[in-house]
Structures are given as C-alpha cells and as structure tokens.
Amino acid sequence: MSFESSAVTLVWNQNNLILRRGTSTLVISAQNVQELRLQDSEELFNSYFRTKALENREARRVFESWEKKDVPLLSKIYREMLA
C-alpha cells in the first residue's frame, strides 16, 4: 500500500521524510525517522512525532493545518514508517 493524502505529498530522500504541500515543506530528519520507527505503539509514535520530530512551533503549526485537510494524516505517516 502506498501513501495517499489529499493534503500532502510524501517523499523519502536519504532516509529523511519530506512532507510537502504547495510551498510548505517539512523535513523529518533521518535520526528522527529512526527514533520514530523504534516507538512501540502508535500513541508513542504520535507523541514523539509531535514533540520531537516536528522540531519547532512553526513546523507543528504547519502540520496541524495539514491535519485539518486530512484528519488521519498522522496515522497514514505511521503506517508508511512501518511499511
């Protein structure tokens, strides 16, 4: 199953996870991707993603605006990480 979202496109580049919508881009570093893959549950994954992988308030704000357009976005990213 491939990643599908009406809000963002997802690209892997040198183990970095890149999310894009229009001119906005969020990069989840390879180090954070590795940590995300080690989380034992979707709840821990979500917590780490929101607090550590999104490294600043602006990134969190952008991601939250994308979630308004695609409510299950974080669950889709979780499934993509485990694929």
Q: Strands, E, within 1-83: which ranges?
A: 9-13, 16-21, 24-28
- pLDDT for res 60: 97
In which residue are the tokens 């602006």 written? 58
User: Please, what sign has the CA dihedral across residues 53, 58, 64, 69?
Assistant: negative
Phi, psi (deg, nearest 5) at residue 56 = -150, 170
**Banded pLDDT at 79 (limits 50, 70, 90):** very high
30-65 confidence digits (pLDDT tens)? 999 999 999 999 999 999 999 999 999 999 999 999
- pLDDT for res 33: 97
Across the chain, mean pLDDT equals: 96
Give mean pLDDT, residues 59-77.
Answer: 97
- CA distance linking residue 30 with residue 60, whole number of Å: 18
**Distances from the Cα of 44 to the Cα of 16, 40, 41, 64, angstroms:** 20, 7, 5, 18
